[in-house]
Structure 1
Amino acid sequence: MSGFFARRPPDRPGLAVFLNAGDPPLPVLADLMRMLDDRRVDCLELAVPFPDSVTDGAVIRRSARRALAGGAGLDEVLDFLGGIQPRLRHLRVALLADWSHTVRPLSMPGFVRRVADSGADGLLVHGLPPRLRASCLEAVREAGLPLVATCYATSAAEVKAEAAECASAYLYLVAHYGRSGGTLTTGHQELATALAVLRKAATVPIAVGFGVRSGADIAVLHGLGADAAVVGSAGVARVEHALAERADVVEEFQAFLHTLSPCSASW
């Protein structure tokens, strides 16, 4: 099983958090990542910031604009990751890069090799055109870089099967259509069914995201069969609040982690 969530006892849900590299600024982000590592958070989905994401709501869009305004481009993010990754003991980093903004100007093999050389533990390519999936798979396999594949709970059976086959880091199951920043849907049967189907095919952990905002949400997902939860907008909003109030971002985010702890989870 993938190392992203494998070191957590099976009765405890795993946790991935999303942040844009550069929001908070990279020196503060380094301190925040060390805190996440100390708290034994399993995964950071670290985005190379890009503008006007069609899948994100206002909170993450504002975060990306702040990061871009601060100069966080691909070179800066990979250099940053290369410097901090060797010091992380538990936290795994899945780099998220947008196809159109970040990957398209480069060759796929060259881009993937740079990500692998940075020390990233996995890669998620946002908005990858279906016609390029084969070349992406070939590139990550040659580089030995685990891939995060995605699908929706409502995706067609063949889409779920392809995601399960391609995922070598973990499978990100998006709970519902729409933009990030909402809440979990009230009806969970569809999500439970999707998890059961994917469980039969996937060889890696399944993490569910979109609308996860609390420890209660994480407990629900774990009860439905998810290995882990992905928390995005709620955490990014906490960073935004700390920056606006000139508060300590690391302390604020650590307090936020406490609100996510369902019962026995170490974080």
Structure 2
Amino acid sequence: MKVSGSAEQSVDAATYQLVTTGFGTATLTFTNRVDPTKNVTYNVTVNSFSAPTLNSSSVTLKSVPRNEGSSNLSATVTVTSPVGGYEVSSGTNSSIASYSMSGNNCTVKAVKAGSTSITFRNKLDNSKTKTYSISVTGILYEGQAVWKYYGYYIAPANAATNTQWNGSITNNSYCSGKKGASWRIPSKDECRTILGGSDNAAESVWREYLNKGVFSNEYYWSTTDAGNGNAYIMLRYMAGAMEIAPKEKSYKGVVRCITR
């Protein structure tokens, strides 16, 4: 450590500037010029900058089908700031997981399966970093857990409502941009599979969907044209039945996405 300032001073308050030249502890001794036995020491310890610390180094976010178990789709890691403060130097891949900061807490949320990370660094020494690794598994729909029946993953919410059958349905426009998987609108045959392999679902099938709240009492469009101005639609009656039938294309139904 370098000390700038006159070695001998007679003022009531002397000022010395200390400049570090390395790491360790240095001692300054101030002595009365008249009586050298009267002195006081001043110790200075110089430490290197350190990286932020985290209360966890990694997390696995799991999306489990709603009818098969529970999911954990978000996690919070606490960052302890080093001397000099910290900042995010590299955020997550937003297509896999999003993140947000609240004070020293960083919350990550699953978007789709994959691996990503977020890195924090000391503001005064960019080389001092700490990385939080994030792994996402399973199928998600816009950051939500989904249903799974008969080999198909079913979105937990409608992609469109009050919608006539049109080119946006046949082109899959309503589902193609949804995050978490390659979502699409089902065909008539896929709707039949979802109903247990029949155009008219067995009681056990529609009751399962009813009790779990998979489908509401609505008309769900398929991509299949039925001819004569109609298209196939999957519907659930409040009375307790589910079936596939032709419906006028001008009818304003809903769109639900699926994937495999």
Which category describes the TM-score, using the shorter chain as reference length?
Answer: under 0.3
Q: Which has the higher contact order (CA 8 A, sep 6+)?
A: 1
| Rg larger in structure | 2
Q: Whose strand proportion is higher, 1 or 2?
A: 2
Q: Whose helix proportion is higher, 1 or 2?
A: 1
